[in-house]
A and B are shown apart, each in its own frame.
Chain A
Amino acid sequence: DIQMTQSPSSLSASVGDRVTITCQASQDIYNHLNWYQQKAGKAPKLLIYDASNLEIGVPSRFSGSGSGTDFTFSISSLQPEDLATYYCQQYRSLPITLGQGTRLEIK
């Protein structure tokens, strides 16, 4: 199975800050990497697919980059509504595996 290591596990930032989350795969997953946002008590929502493509309707302050084993997710200017847990997920092969999640708090 491909292991996904996501960091940090939690972070606290202020409105307007730039926030960055990293995700490392245990083997080459090309660009088959998605990022999800999950708000408390809700289902996950797809933000980024194929490592760097913004899902339709998602604000442009969200972005992703990387390929191979190292990936980055960023929020350029943090907004109050971005309070959530964020997950990376590989779909290079089954079983699909996800990172442990990053809990984002607003200062």
Chain B
Amino acid sequence: EVQLVESGGGLVQPGGSLRLTCATSGFTIITHWTHWFRQPPGQGLVWVARLDADGSDTAYADSVKGRFTVSGDTATNTVYLQMDSLRTDDTAVYYCARDAPHRRIDPWGPGTLVTVSS
């Protein structure tokens, strides 16, 4: 069974850093891209970043480019999202999800809440 589980969320001050972890099982991150999405409280879903672990290629939304870094550990099939220079509008539930054949984004992890506040 394919599963993803996020961890590492919490409360951080503006300007601070946080690293999210996405533990995966049932697939290998070398053969499937992995995405991060976020959902601010009461709002819709927004794509954040994509990792191509095979090619070590990454892509980011403009709103996080230069502040967030996505990476992966192929030995443990773990994906990370390093978030620096955090702002209050980064407050959201962060989800990781697998990129499956036919451009399906599925499944998603349960999410982890990041709150940026002083």
Q: Which residues of A contact B (CB under 8 A)?
A: 32, 34, 36, 38, 42-46, 49-50, 53, 55, 87, 89, 91, 94-101
Contact = CB atoms under 8 A, between A and B. Distances in A.
A46 B104 contact: yes
Contacts of A42: 110
Given A97-B47, A101-B44, A43 B103 contact: no
B108 A44 contact: yes
B11 interface: no
Given A43-B110, A43-B111, A98 B45 contact: yes
Interface in B55-74: 59, 61-62
Contacts of B110: 42-43
Kindly name the residue among A38, A95, A97 whose own CB sees the greatest number of chain B CB atoms within 10 A.
A95
A87 B103 CA distance: 16
A87 B47 contact: no
Interface of A is mostly: loop
Interface residues of B, number: 20
B106 interface: yes
Which of B61, B95, B102, B107 has the most A CB atoms < 10 Å from its CB?
A: B102
Nearest to B101: A49
A97 B105 CA distance: 12
Interface in B62-117: 62, 95, 102-111
Contacts of A32: 103
Nearest to B96: A43
Given A43-B95, A96-B105, A98-B45, 18 more contacts: A34-B103, A34-B104, A42-B110, A43-B107, A45-B107, A46-B105, A46-B107, A49-B106, A50-B102, A87-B44, A87-B45, A89-B45, A89-B105, A94-B47, A94-B50, A96-B35, A96-B50, A100-B44
